[in-house]
Amino acid sequence: MDTLNQILIYFPIEMQNYIINSINSQSLIKNQLEEIRVRANRPIILKFRNYDVVLDYETYTEDILKILEKLCENSIYAYKNQICQGFLTVRGGHRIGITGTVVVENDEIINVKYISSLNFRIAREIVNCSDSILNQVIDTENDTIFNTLLVSPPGKGKTTMLRDLVRQISNGITSFNFPGLTVGLVDERGEIAASYKGVPQNDVGIRTDIIGNIDKSKGIEILIRSMAPKVIACDEIGSQEDIEAIQKAMLSGVKGIFTMHGKNMEDIKNNPEVNELIEKKQIEKVIFI
């Protein structure tokens, strides 16, 4: 089953046919499709790499409910915790963002009612995309990695780059005579390994242990305590809690590879928590993507 069909199986058949026919009739490039956005009482929008296509197909609340029921295998209640976090991950590693009316109790989201929007984000791995920066990340003299921070604006590929680095570090890299290392991956929002029922849908390497649906600071602590990683990896660090957990890991001799939003050093300096890691030379390499 190709990537698009992995997504479309959750749509009503008439909607599936309309999307496929629209792509074919307009000669759109399927492998450049990044998102399908479905909103109540509004048209479907296909987001491609460099442009959007607005389809003349209005979606109704009943359509969204049908899609959600399929996503949840006809048991929405069983997926309540994931829905409250704002997304679901399905087979193939595709991630569906969810918005609606939020029910809050004691400062915690306990339910999302009247769901009005779904955003199907299509997962695609780019194997070996990190080859160009491996010589900056791999410490061949010590058979380990440099503590590394990947920096880029949103949507420019830092998560994709992180995923491939984790895969290569975990598997080992013959061209560098680099042995594989045990990696502890905190996949807070399911975007890196994209685990489905506990099985990673993306290739993150043979020596990688994944903890998901947990904030980064707690995830790092659990991985270090239970899995003894040589390297920890996580996406979009920035909070004081993140930095404290990372510093504890480094004091234990664990190396790290992380990402953050930004365009230049000025953006890093504007984040005092992350900048602290650099000033203390706990981050050894900063790579802008």
- 285, 268 contact by CB (below 8 A): no
Q: Give the global pTM.
A: 0.81
Q: Is the pLDDT higher at 104 or at 147?
A: 147
Long-range contacts of 220-226 (CB under 8 A, 24+ apart): 220/184, 220/186, 220/245, 220/246, 220/248, 220/249, 221/245, 221/248, 223/184, 223/186, 224/184, 224/248, 224/249, 224/252, 224/254
β-strands 231-234, 95-105 pairing: unpaired
pLDDT in tens, 113-138: 889 999 999 887 889 999 999 999 99
Interatomic CA distance for residues 191 and 75, integer angstroms: 23
pLDDT at 128: 96
Encoded tokens for 258? 């992380």
Helix axes 216-227, 240-251, angle to 10 degrees: 20
Summarised one tens digit per residue, pLDDT across range 229-270 is 999 999 999 999 999 999 999 999 999 999 999 999 999 999
Is 3-121 CATH 3.30.70?
Answer: no
Q: Are 22 and 15 in contact (CB under 8 A)?
A: no
Give the phi and the psi of residue 131 in degrees, each rounded to 5: -55, -35
* β-bridge mates for residue 173, sequence order: 178
The answer to whether the CB of 82 falls within 8 A of the CB of 213 is: yes
For 26-81, how does the pLDDT look when each residue is reduced to its tens digit (9 = 90+)?
888 888 899 999 999 999 999 998 899 999 999 999 999 999 999 999 888 888 88
For the domain spanning 129-288, the CATH number is 3.40.50.300
Domain range annotation of the chain: 3-121, 129-288
Task: Give the integer Cα–Cα distance in Å for 240 and 252.
Answer: 19
In the 8-state DSSP scheme, what is residue 147? -
